[in-house]
Structures are given as structure tokens and as C-alpha cells.
Structure 1
């Protein structure tokens, strides 16, 4: 029997929290719950609403924010929506800009999610999640690992072998440092029994840039949501190796089904400023709920193969607190660097 030491105890706690992180990131049953909600009736939220998207155009947050805006208009909650893209550093630049300009603005929303949580855990910025308050978690999306069509890597087994043999020779492209793509790259490296500290991770502001990095040879492996890779995969520019779900989705094999225990999901949500009143927050929740029942939103979920993952109120606050704690643990465990 191994003696209990402070080091062993700390390691067990880290591993337990890491396991909790993986379970937390997998929204089992969320789709059925969301689809069971009846369409909500909502009063007019504003004539013109602004949505700040802390990422460049074309990525997951941008797609989600613009789909939400269209659904809010369709549901009658607003007349029109203006969009403001402020990309960089996993959403923390946009977060700081939002907190500075719109902290008390009742007509300006902020997109965010797990990528921002991870970026805050890694970067420890002066403006963090305490400067905003959540309205609702909206979607969950699994990660796809893809390689250029010319790559010799054709399966999860090939990927693990390549990572184990020479991890630095396999630069990985994904979203911002500390985000879900970065964390998942570390998870794959550990699954391959490679040293995550030697991981070469190249962050980009959007999925289009990740595709370009793969096609031009700037990266050997890319990680992103299916909606950001689907066109390049269909065009034969990229080859999908695996997906981070528990079972096959998008017509792609899950890493777990290929013998690699690497399950994770990304979530996206919408927030408001810390200075917005509780009464106005309740109106925002009602408006967003009505939008997620609108046909345009449901159609977007289907097109992008996102899972509905509705969560709000105290449950969402507690979810985010655990998410941030476990992201910090994963940054430590995987030795990730900003």
C-alpha cells in the first residue's frame, strides 16, 4: 500500500478535478431538455440591440452571436441588432472592452463561453469574469481534429504515434491560448503519453485562420468546431481524424471509439454587464429564451450541428464557477503556457 503524502494527495485532487472537467464539458441530455421547452412569449427588449463578439468574423462566437441576433429579431424581442467584433487573446480583449464601455448598458450583450474561461485561467487578466454576469448558456459543440489532406496521419492511432515520437514536430493550430482547443491539444498529448510541455501550439483568432494554417503547412494538426472545418473537409482540403465526443457524430469517429480517452465539449453563451439590474437581467433571459425557440435558431443548430445546451440562473453561475476552477487545474496539469 502506497503511503499518503502531500504530493500524492495534491496529484489525486488534480486528477479528480480534471476528470470533473471532462464530465462537465460533456452536455449529456441537454438537447432533450432544451427541445422540451415551449416557445416563450416576450415583450420588446429594445429597438436596437448591440451584441459584442469578442472574436474575429467567421468563428464560433461570431456565428453564434449573429444567429442569436437574427433569432431575437425573428422572435420580436428587438427591431434590429448591431454587431461589434473585438477579437484576440481568447476573448479577453473583447471582455475588457465590453467591461469598460458597456458595463451598465441595458441594450448591449456579450458573447462568451468556455474559450474565454480557459483564457482567463491561463492569462489571469485584470478584467475577468467577475466583471460580467451570465444570461444563458446556449450551445455545446464537439471538437474535430483535422490534418491536411496530404498528411500521412490517417487515424487516431497514427496521430498518437506521431505525438509520442516527436510532439514538437507536430505543431497544432487552434483557437486562442488557454481556450478549449489549447486544452484539448494538451489532453491529446497526454493520451499519447507525450510531454505536454513540449507542445507547439499556434493560436488563431478564428476557424478560417486555422484552416489556412493547415492548408499552407504552418500547422500539422488543427482543432476546431465541426462548423468551422466542414467546408474544408467536404472540399477535400482537410481530413478529419477524430471528434471529442463519446460516440461518433457528424459522420466522424470519436477518439474514444478509436481507443483514445479524450472526451471534451465546448460551450457558448451570452452575458451582460455587471451594472445591469436584476430586473433587466430577467428581461434579457426571457428574450433570449424566446429567441432559442424561434425557427431560425433551431435551423442554425441543425445546420451547424450544435447541441442546444440551455442553462441559466443559479445553475449557470455554479457551472461557471466550477468551469473556471477546473480550467485552472487543467492549465496546471497540462503545463500550458500563454
Structure 2
């Protein structure tokens, strides 16, 4: 994690400790999770909901899972159904930006209200335990021979694992437009496909696959970070002479039409939750890196990341 990002995260959390948070116990937060159960957004949303309750920033949290189109279906439901609701939150992140670029949905993220970036995470590529391949080199050799024979499984089109697969192809001299990518609507579906041997190789955030890696049901090949993840003995793509580094981040947005004061209170609630023991435990359990950013800085980050992702996807032949 970059030092400046870490310092901003710590400063935001420290500031939150002194902020007045009126009537926190009266909040009944409605959490839109624009993905099916079992994936990274679902895990993040439910962990944040638990932290909101434990910290006193909310009395109750209800969840609504709406998967599909890299979060665009959930985004549309959130925008159309939560207008002016000061207690509505939606989980989102880099995957949603990629999905908007590839899918061009009728709704736009700018219609909702930015609240905070909360975590950063890198992807891991895995094989089913019974795969005839053993290493990333084996996969790459097969990819070069016959790109279509390698089925990449992961999240929606435009997800970070989809972009990473295209980048890998490009780096090893394969036309990225020829990769055989199978998109799933949620992490649970992707996990089932990998364990069942229905895809050749799967990718997702490390937290989503960690228990299957630990149990030996999945064989990890590479992580998409610049250096090895803390406590994770899996080589990076760069270590294997594939110059690809790409991260994933997750955040939350508020409903369209809320006032400046309501946005501030919602942001304060989230920041209070991020200081809780429940959230600290979630960070450790899921190997998430805190990456807190709010206000104008978060808005600028989203705009910049959207432009950067689009440029990467164009370069990789995805759009």
C-alpha cells in the first residue's frame, strides 16, 4: 500500500473519532449489494453492516442482493428505488467501473452520491485441485497454442480479473480479444464452476478463494500485486515474468438526492464503523488493506480510476 494512501486512511479514521454523530442508534441502514451472495461485494457489505451495528452507527442493517451486469442491475435499482434516502448505502468498486465501460448501462454512477472508498485487494488466479495444469507457465503455454481452449472464470465482464486475464494474454503475445472468458454473476457461482472443473483457471479477490486454497481444493498460481501478499506464499505474476499488476478496491455510495448534511452524516457513520473491532477482524480475516478515502478526494479518485481502467481496457483490446 502506498504511504500517502495509508496516511490519508489513518488521518480520516482519526478525524472520525472527534466528529459528532447524532442519533446514531436510530439509523436503520439499507445496504444494496449489487451482486449475488458469496462474492467480494457481498462479504464487504455484510462485514460493513456488522461493523455499523457493533459501533453504534446503525441500529439495524438490512441487505438486498441484486446481481448482474457487473453491478449495473443493482445500481439501477438503487438509483431508482432509494432517491433521497439518507440511510441507504450501496457497495461498489473497480468492478462496477469496468462493467460500466464495457456494458454502457442506461444508469450512471454519477447519479448516486459518493461516500467512501474503504478497502483495496489484489486478485489471485487458481486452478481446480484436479487440473492437469500445475503452474501459470503451463496455462500460458496452452494459451499460446490455442487461446480458446483456456476458459478463464471470474466476475462480470470488465471485472479486475477479466482485465487481468486480457493483460496476461497481451503480455505473452496472445491477442486479448481471443481469450475465452466466462463471466459469472457472483463469487458463489464462480467458485462452484472452478471446483467443478467447468473452467480452466479462475480469478478473484484472494479473500474469496482463501478457504478453498487452505483446504487444498484450489491451487493458487499467482497474485496480481507488485509484491507477495503478507502471509500468503503465492508468487506474483511479475515473479513469473508476466509484467501485470492490477488491484481491486471497494467502496460505498449513498442514494441520489441526499443533502450535503445527510451525506456528511452518512460518511461519519461509515468512518465510525471502520474504527470498530468487527471491521478490524474483517480486514485481517479477508486480507483486505484499509484504503479509506472520502469527500472530494474520493470523487476525484473514482474519476481518475475510471479513465485509467478505460485506457487499460482499450490497450488490452477489451473495448
TM-score w.r.t. the length of structure 1 is: 0.88
| Alignment of 1:278 onto 2:253 | no
Write out per-residue CA displacement over residues 223-252 of structure 1, whole angstroms, 9 at most, x where no aligned residue.
Answer: 001111112112222100000011111221
> Which residue of 5, 12, 23 corresponds with 1:44?
23
| Alignment of 1:196 onto 2:176 | yes
CA contact (8 A) 1:61 1:111 kept: yes
1:83 shift after superposition: 0.6
Distance in 2, Cα, partners of 1:107 & 1:211: 32
| Alignment of 1:328 onto 2:310 | yes
Distance in 1, Cα, partners of 2:38 & 2:17: 29
Change (3 A) 1:211 1:125: same
1:98 shift after superposition: 0.5
CA contact (8 A) 2:84 2:256 kept: yes
1:53 is aligned to 33
Find the residue that maps to 1:78 and give its secondary structure: coil
Equivalenced residue count is 311
Distance in 2, Cα, partners of 1:28 & 1:188: 24
1:336 shift after superposition: 2.2
1:290 is aligned to 272
Distance in 1, Cα, partners of 2:87 & 2:297: 24
Distance in 1, Cα, partners of 2:27 & 2:113: 22
Find the residue that maps to 2:59 and give its secondary structure: strand
| Alignment of 1:186 onto 2:166 | yes
Find the residue that maps to 2:27 and give its secondary structure: strand
Find the residue that maps to 2:208 and give its secondary structure: helix
1:288 shift after superposition: 0.7
Distance in 1, Cα, partners of 2:150 & 2:2: 32
1:310 shift after superposition: 0.4
2:48 is aligned to 68
Unaligned runs of 5+ in 2: none
1:19 is aligned to none
Distance in 1, Cα, partners of 2:7 & 2:287: 15
Find the residue that maps to 2:2 and give its secondary structure: coil
The RMSD of aligned alpha carbons is 1.6
1:156 is aligned to 136
Distance in 2, Cα, partners of 1:65 & 1:261: 32
Change (3 A) 1:35 1:257: farther
1:307 is aligned to 289
